[in-house]
Amino acid sequence: WPDVVIPKNYPEFTSRRVHVAEWIEGEKLSQSNEDDVGALVNLGVITYLTQLLDFGFFHADPHPGNMMRTSDGKLAILDFGLMTDITDDQKYGMIEAIAHLLNRDYSEIGQDFINLDFIPKGTDTTPIVPALTKVFDAALAGGGAKSINFQELAADLAEITFEYPFRIPPYFALVIRAIGVLEGIALVGNPNFAIIDEAYPYIARRLMTDNSPRLKAALRYMVYGREGSFDAEK
């Protein structure tokens, strides 16, 4: 990743309260007027997806002050003081859930949310699925996946927690925050920006190259759907 800059750490000067790292020259990505800001945001999306879905260990505090455009036009990510782990089950579960949501196949969404730790294992999801269906139908309305506002989606999911045995796991709240920051920066310069457009090629590559049986099954589902019919538009 030659266009991504991570400041060098100085552990000998770092304590529990003070994190000492290399000084980076540049400006906040959210305040830059350079022509390459859009490309750097796209790079940021792929960088975070790689941390999240390849390594399961990601920077969990990507507020606008921690995303910079360096003086030579690279993306700098600062302040790795807050990091989060996710399990393989959660990584694969996110990709499976995306596949089901893109196909609007809500029959599997209950199990997806159990796999992602939103719903306790052993819970009967029958009464929860209609509520989830309503939330995702609203999120996908008016343009499909490209139209999703992730901050609004998180707020709508949070409403379900008052009525059903459903919770927003801490790792997912941090994922949504990261997506929201990147999306917010991009929309300033490009009102038509859709984070799904940037994420889809990465997810497709993961599905086609990962040897996990779960991801191979997700790829078959993405291509052939539940009915096993090939759809050339997918």
Active site residues: 61
Beta-bridge mates of residue 58: 84
Residue 139's φ and ψ, nearest 5 degrees, are -70, -35
Query: Residue 143 — left, alpha, or beta (φ > 0 → left; ψ -120 to 50 → alpha)?
Result: left
**Exposure class string for 190-214: b at 16+ Cβ within 10 A, else e:** eeebbbbebbeebbeebbeebeeeb
Given a contact cutoff of 8 angstroms between Cβ atoms, the answer to whether 97 and 45 are in contact is: no
Helix ranges, the chain (H): 37-49, 88-102, 109-115, 129-140, 150-160, 170-189, 195-209, 213-224
Given a contact cutoff of 8 angstroms between Cβ atoms, the answer to whether 201 and 195 are in contact is: no
Residue type, 218: A
Beta-bridge mates of residue 5: 76
Six token digits for residue 67: 């995303």
